[in-house]
Structure 1
Amino acid sequence: MKISILSQKESWINDYLSRWILDLSGEHEISWVHRQDALKGGDILFILSFWSIVARRYIEQFSSAVVVHESDLPKGRGWSPVSWQILEGKNIIPITLFRAAEKVDSGEIYLRDQIELEGHELIDEIRKKQAMKTIELCKKFIESYPDILEKGIPQKGEVTYYRKRTPEDSRLDISKTLHEQFNLFRIADNEKYPAFFDYKGQRYILKISKFSSMKND
């Protein structure tokens, strides 16, 4: 089959996709791009960690176009669903593979699963689990294609949205304990959007890592 993968050039998930794509290339014709206008059409388009809505004219070049999103759709449409759910105190994060549609995160659902966390994982560990489950769903879709297209289920229930996170969302409240804000530390990226607080006119950055990880370096 002709399979295309569209991901944001700056996305962390690319490190994991590159390994999967090497495996796929032995069985299928693979195109991996970071701009929607670079899409050339084919059988399946996987839209993974891409930060814009893909235009219909590009979607229609493929027999099927699907997205993976980490929420129990239609709840939790929108941005950064893993981070928002961790801040809500959740350790079981639903993950859904569904048909790409014009309205964000609204297409028929083909596959559901979940990411299981223990509550101690930091951002790199969370991302690894997220990426592995994303690729697992994509593999299942390929294995079941095209029969799986007849099994799509329309989304039903209350629709909710998560807003886009900004660097300001990594702000710590110095009146609260570390325990109270531990989940915020877990999802903070030490380089791109580290946890911080302002005090007496100065800004302070706090970075977090596991001692066990430091011992292994």
Structure 2
Amino acid sequence: MCGLNRYEVLRVRSRDELTIERLEAFGADYVFFPHWSWRIPASVFERFECVIFHMTDVPFGRGGSPLQNLVIRGIENTVLTALRCSQEVDAGPVYLKLPLSTLGTAEEVFIRASFLMLPMMIRIVDERIEPYAQSGEPTFFRRRTPEQGNLQSMSSLTDLHDFIRMLDADGYPHAFLDVGVFRLRFRRSSLSPNSVKADVVFTYLNQEDQN
């Protein structure tokens, strides 16, 4: 990983590899989770200094689907927060926050966030940053489900464009409409004053059910 050449780095690519024994044998000082979709066991975050990344200015916006929940609220500027993993979701003390734009497709925002994560990790290690407790009244986001990607309720072109782009990332269930026996999935949206243009893929609804 570019920028980490002067450190010993152990890469953990699956939850099966995330074990106390493996981390202890390596002698881990920090365990960073820049892109991680599984629950971190308490046995790990209680034993090691585990750092996670969240796309809101916590304590605002704790919880799931932060990017999508920001976009549907019309929030164009947020921060990427590095915080210590804790038993309560996204409630741990904070190491660093850096500005992050939510404009563009979800894929573009995730790439933008990825470029921030490496320098944040290096600063935390090099400067031995002590995290500080969150302050203020927490607010919570609910994790969105694939079924909530339906475009049927959209009432403006801007909302339509934002809805398509916030779900436009590889591996994500993209925005959709059901028309007759077809499901239409939308990507690469562009907004102009009087229209929205997007790529669309047609599949049979029964094919979607099989997937």
Q: TM-score normalized by structure 2? A: 0.76
Question: Residues 133-186 of structure 1: CA distance to partner in whole angstroms, max 9, x if unpaired?
Answer: 2223222212212xx12xx22112111221112211221026624333211111
- Find 1:159's aligned residue among 138, 142, 161: 138
Q: How does 1:6-45 map to 2 (within 5 A)?
A: 21-24=1-4, 26-33=5-12, 34-35=14-15, 36-37=18-19, 39-41=22-24, 42-45=28-31
- Find 1:208's aligned residue among 184, 188, 192: 188
C-alpha deviation, 1:113, in angstroms = 1.6
Q: In structure 1, give the amino acid aligned to 2:166.
A: I
Q: In structure 2, give the amino acid aligned to 1:56.
A: A
Give the RMSD, CA atoms, in angstroms: 2.4
Q: Residues 77 and 100 of structure 2 are in contact (CA less than 8 Å); yes or no, is this contact kept in structure 1? A: yes
Q: Residues 82 and 93 of structure 1 are in contact (CA less than 8 Å); yes or no, is this contact kept in structure 2? A: no
Q: Which runs of 5+ in 1 are unaligned?
A: 1-20, 211-217
* Corresponding residue number in structure 1 for 2:112: 129
* Corresponding residue number in structure 1 for 2:53: 68
Q: 1:169 to 1:67 in 2, by over 3 A?
A: same
Q: Which runs of 5+ in 2 are unaligned?
A: 191-211
Q: Residues 109 and 155 of structure 1 are in contact (CA less than 8 Å); yes or no, is this contact kept in structure 2? A: yes
| Aligned-partner Cα distance in 1 for 2:143–2:63 | 7
Q: Residues 174 and 197 of structure 1 are in contact (CA less than 8 Å); yes or no, is this contact kept in structure 2? A: no
Q: In structure 2, give the amino acid aligned to 1:98.
A: L
Q: Residues 190 and 208 of structure 1 are in contact (CA less than 8 Å); yes or no, is this contact kept in structure 2? A: no
User: Per the alignment, in what secondary structure is the counterpart of residue 173 of structure 1?
Assistant: helix
| Aligned-partner Cα distance in 2 for 1:127–1:96 | 13
| Aligned-partner Cα distance in 2 for 1:37–1:157 | 34
Q: 1:181 to 1:47 in 2, by over 3 A?
A: same
Percentage of pairs with the same residue: 25
Q: Residues 78 and 163 of structure 1 are in contact (CA less than 8 Å); yes or no, is this contact kept in structure 2? A: yes
User: Per the alignment, in what secondary structure is the counterpart of residue 52 of structure 1?
Assistant: coil
* Corresponding residue number in structure 2 for 1:170: 149
* Corresponding residue number in structure 2 for 1:58: 44
* Corresponding residue number in structure 2 for 1:198: 178
C-alpha deviation, 1:188, in angstroms = 1.8
* Corresponding residue number in structure 2 for 1:112: 97
Q: Residues 44 and 65 of structure 1 are in contact (CA less than 8 Å); yes or no, is this contact kept in structure 2? A: yes
| Aligned-partner Cα distance in 2 for 1:158–1:113 | 21
| Aligned-partner Cα distance in 1 for 2:163–2:86 | 32
